[in-house]
Amino acid sequence: MTPEDLQEYGMDYLYHMTHINNLASIIRFGLLSHNAAHRLNVIQSDISDPDVQDIRAGLVVPFYNRPLHDYVPLYFDPRNPMLYKRREMQEDIVILGLDPNLLFEPNILITDGNAAARETSFYKRPNALNRLPWDSIRSRSWHNIEDGRRIKCAEVLFYDKIKPNKIQFVFCYSQRHREAIITARQGTPILGKVRKDLYF
């Protein structure tokens, strides 16, 4: 598996969604795991589901025997059930487009569905991409796909922290937060762009 092979999967970016209020601290400190972000008290607005987080808090990932909350979760497709559940606030949610070559970093994990689900399998090498159900992951809707809700939330788990220079784009729902994105960039080459197609 090489970086060129990622194009076979149509992988322009890996994605992470967050509230616009968290953007400045992410660009300053990097994208942190749940545990690290709470330890440093840098989360201003939490969009995660408390019930799901309670489940994830009790899980340990295979291979490395670390808490799931010690990993930064990234998605292959951000237009998924997690975002759908928060669609009433999606104008305030920004979607970070990250360098897909993060898949070649050490200690990453790839899942074939939501990492909190019992049925989900974990893999630790990018070669495992060919084992993922891409038709289901890329589908615009999961409602008519068997186990689609879980599969659409397939993840890449990155240990502890992702440096800000791995963030290439900040995608947003509308022009509403254009100035906030420009301010949060803090002189970095990160670009902001309206991508309504990534939302509901």
Residues tagged active-site: 56, 155
Classify burial at 4, counting beta carbons within 10 Å of its beta carbon; exposed 0-12, middle 13-18, buried 19 or more.
exposed
Q: Is 105 exposed, middle or buried (0-12, 13-18, 19+ CB in 10 A)?
A: middle
Q: Which helix (H) or strand (E) holds 168?
A: strand 167-172
DSSP string of 27-92, one letter each residue: HHH-EE-HHHHHHTT--SS--S-HHHHHHHHT-B-TTT--BGGGEEEEES-SSSHHHHHTGGGGGG
Beta bridge partners of 5: none
